[in-house]
A and B are shown apart, each in its own frame.
Chain A
Amino acid sequence: MQTLRRKDILGLEEMSAEEITLILETARSMREIMQRKIKKVPTLRGRSVLNLFYEPSTRTKASFELAQKYMSSDAVSVAGSSSSLVKGETLKDTVRNVEVMGVECVIMRHPVSGSSHYLARSVEASVINAGDGMHEHPTQGLLDMFTIWENKGRLEELKVVIIGDIRHSRVARSNLWGLQKMGAEVMVAGPSTLMPPDLDIFGVKHFTDIEEAVEDADVVMALRLQKERQEGGLFPSMREYAELYGLNAKRLAHTKEDMLIMHPGPINRGIELSSELADGPRSVVMDQVAAGVAVRMALLYLLLGGTKE
């Protein structure tokens, strides 16, 4: 397959293994551009992109903006708090307005699950979901897969354990869909209260004992513990969570030497992941960040590179 025949990137649930492979392969070519002295190719000259972030973001936003600059597209960024949303304008109206101004692609992060699907149906511009509620964060899933693929040379038959708050995690959902399509064996681990009620649809094994889960894992992915969830009473305290489910050198003592340690960031150091591991030799957290730019360049190219019928 050579082209991505879709208008939007909304989630990995609806994407095929062939499409994911194409994106990862294109990203590999894009990464070379980031290593040049002059990090810019003229490919998307004259194409306009809008970044619409209704939730705070550092990595994802910076990464999208850099990808847009490296591809020579023109981008504007609007943060939710400074937009007309606070004046009561609907999402659809906001985007229709900028579409008239010539925007061909909208990158959106929004607290409501399904918001990017709604937007994609309402406008002609391509929509890339940069995280919608608890639903999906497809570009994070893709950059995680890219990082594993680059470090391990493959995805199929790798044992990947995702640890933590699966229930509220769009990152986990995108990885669960994507990794399984690419042939990896995925498991989840963490307290039962932080597992989604619909875990069955993913068909993955759930562990409450971390040491048992990671025993012969090729990759462990720690998720950020969202402090705001504690108020809902889903786990007693940060300290207890860290003690039972946090990753540290002792807990990973009997694991594979070449196991990859991943985290989508931002890390609560000492809670879900110890500093020693986050900065240690098995950590690929920084690879993930770099992969983010390459993957997003690939997506912009694949969505905007050709003309629309």
Chain B
Amino acid sequence: MALKHKATVMDEKGMQQALRRIAHEIVERNKGLRRIALIGIRKRGVPLARRLQAYLNEIEEFDIPFGILDITLYRDDLSQRQDQPEVHTTDVPFDLTDKNVILVDDVLFTGRTVRAAMDAMVDFGRPASIQLAVLVDRGHRELPIRADYVGKNVPSSRNELVEVRIQDLDQAEQVDILEKAPE
């Protein structure tokens, strides 16, 4: 299946501004950083969460607990897939209890990843709250889930792909919409 570039919806500067704004919203809503913890969902949620951490620290100097979540073992489609997805390590090196956990991912789509991530987190403890921060919300939810912080709403059709590229992983920094074109 060929993918055709349709539009670039965010560039490097746009991404920076969006994350910086989200950082301010997080501080405002949680009245500071005292009980905040950041958890990035593998794969692209992790570098995004790292950036949020840096922006949060520009606002207030505070050591924010940081975790990495791999949701593979919590997926709801494991028994429907032919191949097992590769499992990566989860690393939540702090106690979640009584923390306001900010879950970070790149794209919010069906909501199934977030559902899996919430299930995983409950296995680590009982956070005071779980909040969701995403760079892009593209719609088409299949579960009653919404984001608390959104970098950009990108209305998309189901036969499009929203691709987030991040310097650390992809040697580029932008968000594109790609169209699945029949060959």
Contacts and interface: CB of A to CB of B under 8 A. Distances in A.
Interface stretch (A11-19, A33-41, A193-201, A270-278): A33-41
Given A38-B123, A42-B73, A301 B87 contact: yes
21 contacts: A2-B83, A2-B84, A29-B87, A29-B88, A32-B89, A32-B91, A36-B124, A37-B124, A37-B125, A38-B124, A40-B123, A41-B73, A41-B74, A41-B123, A42-B73, A43-B78, A306-B79, A306-B82, A306-B83, A306-B84, A307-B79
Contacts of B155: none
A280 interface: no
Nearest 3 CB-CB pairs, A to B?
A305-B84, A41-B73, A43-B73
A192 to B, nearest CB: 45
A301 B124 contact: no
Interface in A7-57: 26, 28-30, 32-33, 36-38, 40-43, 46-47
B81 interface: yes
A90 interface: no
A268 interface: no
A3 B86 CA distance: 7
Interface residues of A, number: 25
A42 B125 CA distance: 16
A182 interface: no
Interface of B: 70, 73-74, 78-91, 119-120, 123-125
A40 B81 CA distance: 22
Nearest to A28: B89
Contacts of B85: 2, 305
Contacts of A46: 79
Contact of A42 (B81, B86, B119): B119
B80 A307 contact: yes
A305 B89 contact: no
A32 B70 CA distance: 11
Nearest to B122: A38
A309 interface: yes
Contact of A30 (B78, B87, B119, B124): B87
Interface string A184-212: 00000000000000000000000000000
A301 B73 CA distance: 9
Nearest to A46: B79
Contacts of B125: 37
B78 A305 contact: yes
Contacts of A307: 79-82
A111 B85 CA distance: 35
Interface of A: 2-4, 26, 28-30, 32-33, 36-38, 40-43, 46-47, 298, 301-302, 305-307, 309
A42 B77 CA distance: 12
Contacts of A32: 89-91
Contacts of A298: 87
Nearest to B119: A42
Given A42-B119, A307-B79, A29 B70 contact: yes
Contacts of B79: 46-47, 306-307
A305 to B, nearest CB: 3
Contacts of A36: 123-124
A307 B80 CA distance: 6
Nearest to B84: A305
Contacts of A43: 73-74, 78
A34 B67 CA distance: 17
Contact of B90 (A29, A37, A306): A29
A38 B90 CA distance: 14
B173 to A, nearest CB: 27
Contacts of A4: 84
Contacts of A40: 123
Nearest to B79: A307
Contacts of A302: 84
Contacts of A29: 70, 87-90
Contacts of B119: 42
